[in-house]
Amino acid sequence: MPNRDLEQLTRHANLAVLEVAAFLREQVHQVQPGQVEEKHLNGLVSYVDRTAEQMLVERLGHLVPEAAFITEEDTVEQQLDADLQWVIDPLDGTTNYLYGLPHYSISVGLRSAGEIMLGIVHHVPQDELFYAWRDGGAWCNDQPIRVSQRNTLRQSLVSTGFPYHNFSRAESWFEVLRTLLAEGRAVRRYGSAALDLAWVACGRFDIFFEYGLNPWDVAGGALLVHEAGGRISDFSGGNNFVMGGEVLACNAAVYDQALAIVQEKFSK
């Protein structure tokens, strides 16, 4: 897809995301306890997630009718092996949303033959729209963004996500966390992997690592990191970070140091 067409598609997709963001803001204090379900351990969902997803599917489907979908809430048939896929999370940070914590996002990515071509992450409460298209740079509210220039672990602000339903690798995760707590500046955990990636891209975080993720947690933010000059991989340094359930994203200066720690601890 030509770069100019990708830019225009991204801008049209941005409008769809902003429309869904307005719906999320309208509903933020309207959800009643009886309208919340626990779909798996510590995984909440409400009509807001499902309606927002349906809105995105409808609008993005009009933009690229031939594209399939990978979605969190299964409001449309999943086609994991399609060559062209929208990968969407209508509300990343549902628990934050339902508990009144102003940190949640919408994540949208478009994959073509396994390669992410555009990515969007919208921090809804702050109205920050992060977006990128392949070879077009990374942006927030029409301003270019870059990863940080901090070049040592001691200077690095680290973000992660706690294991909340998959504890199979928790000991390795704790080992990485223990090392980065000792050697880094500080560690934060906010509850939206999509925003963690966006914040690496704009230089607020220097390192983000997490396992137990789904494609829709990563697809929107991964291209942001790449286009902002950062590096992103799975825990072995490979490219299976969208479908592989694990991600390491860093500025370019500290990536090798962080990868060495993650590789050592997760190889045990």
Do 73 and 165 fall within a single domain? no
Query: What DSSP state is assigned to residue 41?
Result: T
Return the closest-CA partner of residue 213 out of 256, 165, 176, 260: 165
Q: How far apart are CA 113 and CA 225, in angstroms?
A: 20
| pLDDT score at 40 | 55
Do 139 and 220 fall within a single domain? no
Do 139 and 226 fall within a single domain? no
Q: How far apart are CA 151 and CA 149, in angstroms?
A: 6
Half-sphere CA count of 75, side-chain side, radius 13 A: 22
- Give the domain CATH number at 251: 3.40.190.80
Check the CA dihedral 15-233-191-37 and report its sign. positive
| pLDDT score at 100 | 92
Do 219 and 188 fall within a single domain? yes
Structure tokens at 54: 């349906």
| pLDDT score at 70 | 94
| pLDDT score at 81 | 80
Do 65 and 98 fall within a single domain? yes
Spell out the SS3 assignment of 112-134: ECCEEEEEEEEECCCCEEEEEEC
| pLDDT score at 165 | 73
Do 158 and 237 fall within a single domain? yes
Do 80 and 120 fall within a single domain? yes
Do 140 and 159 fall within a single domain? no
The predicted-structure confidence for 98-151, as pLDDT tens digits, reads as follows 899 999 999 999 999 999 999 999 999 999 999 999 999 999 999 999 999 999
Output helix, strand, coil percentages for the chain, rounded to the nearest 5.
40, 25, 35
The predicted-structure confidence for 240-261, as pLDDT tens digits, reads as follows 999 999 999 999 999 999 999 9
Which residue range(s) make up the domain with 186? 153-266
Do 158 and 101 fall within a single domain? no
Q: How many domains does the chain have?
A: 2
pTM above 0.75, yes or no: yes
Do 95 and 208 fall within a single domain? no
- Give the domain CATH number at 41: 3.30.540.10
What is the chain's mean pLDDT, rounded? 92
Q: What are phi and psi of 66, to 5 degrees?
A: -80, -5
| Helix extents (H) in the chain | 3-27, 47-63, 94-98, 170-183, 193-201, 215-227, 255-266
Residues of the chain under the 70 pLDDT cut = 1-4, 34, 36-45, 268
Strands 157-160 and 186-188 come out as parallel
